[in-house]
Structure 1
C-alpha cells in the first residue's frame, strides 16, 4: 500500500538497467468506475511537458522511484482531474469535505481508501470525478 502524496515527485525510470530518469510524477490518474489507478502523469524535460503512461506499463512503484516498461506508449495529455484537493459531494450535492490523500495497492493499482477532511471514503462509494468535485454515494 502507498499514498498518492508519497508518489508525487518520484522519478519515473525505465526498468532497463543504466537508463536515466524519464521525468517526475505529477499525479496519478484514477478511473473511479473501476476504482483503480489508470495512469501515471509525469513531467518531462526543461519545458516540463506532461505525459501520461498507462498503468499497465508500470513495473513497480517504491519509495524511491516508479519503474516502467517503456514510454513508447505514452498517451497525449487529456483533461485530467486530480483527486487530491478535490471537493467531495454526495450525489445529492451535500458537501463531504475535501480529499487529502488516497491509498492504493502498488501491485494492482486498486484504490483502497480516499482520505478526506471528514474521514475515510471507501472506493465502493466513488461515483465520478470531474471539474468541480469527487462525487460519492451517501454513507
Structure 2
C-alpha cells in the first residue's frame, strides 16, 4: 500500500465503533525498515498511534482496539511530529549524495514493513533505509 493512498483515512475504535482521528502522517524507523507510528489529527489531545496499536490498516479505515490507543508525542520514542514526516524530505546516501526527494512509501499494511521508498524515476528498496530525521532520509549507497 502506498502511504499517499492511506493519508486521510479515518481511525476507528473497534470497541466503540466511533471515528477517533484522521491519518495525517507517519514516522518510520530503520533496521528493519518499518512504520513506527501513524500521526493523526483528533478532536482531542492525541497525536499518534504506534504501529503495535494498529489492529488493521484496511482499504477504508485504520482500526484500533480502544480509543485510548491514541497517544501524545511524549508517550512514545517514535518522532511523529510534522517535522519528522518523511514524505517530501530529501533522500541522501550514506556518502552524502542527494538522490532527490521522497514522493511516497510502499509498505505492507499488515506488518508495517517498508517495501520501497519511491521518488521520481527511482525506487529504493526499504532495506536500504538507514535513518530518518527532520532534515533528510538516509539510505545505504547501492
Determine if the TM-score, normalized by the shorter chain, exceeds 0.5. yes
Question: What is the TM-score of this pair, normalised by structure 2?
Answer: 0.86
Alignment of 1:96-107 (within 5 A): 96-107=99-110
Question: What is the TM-score of this pair, normalised by structure 1?
Answer: 0.88
Q: Any idea what the Cα deviations from partners look like across 1:50-76, whole Å, max 9, x if unmatched?
A: 511111111111221101112324332
Task: Give the match's secondary structure for 1:39.
Answer: strand
Deviation at residue 33 of structure 1 after TM alignment? 2.9
Unaligned runs of 5+ in 1: none
Question: Moved runs in structure 1, 4+ residues, more than 6 A?
Answer: none
What is the match of residue 29 of structure 1? Answer: 27
CA contact (8 A) 1:89 1:96 kept: yes
- In 2, distance between residues paired with 1:20 and 1:124? 36
CA contact (8 A) 1:41 1:50 kept: no
Q: Output the aligned Cα RMSD.
A: 1.7
Is 2:63 the counterpart of 1:67?
A: yes
Is 2:136 the counterpart of 1:133?
A: yes
Deviation at residue 29 of structure 1 after TM alignment? 1.5
Alignment of 1:24-103 (within 5 A): 24-45=22-43, 51-77=47-73, 79-80=79-80, 81-103=84-106
- In 2, distance between residues paired with 1:50 and 1:25? 12
Unaligned runs of 5+ in 2: none
The number of aligned residues is 135
- In 2, distance between residues paired with 1:71 and 1:89? 38
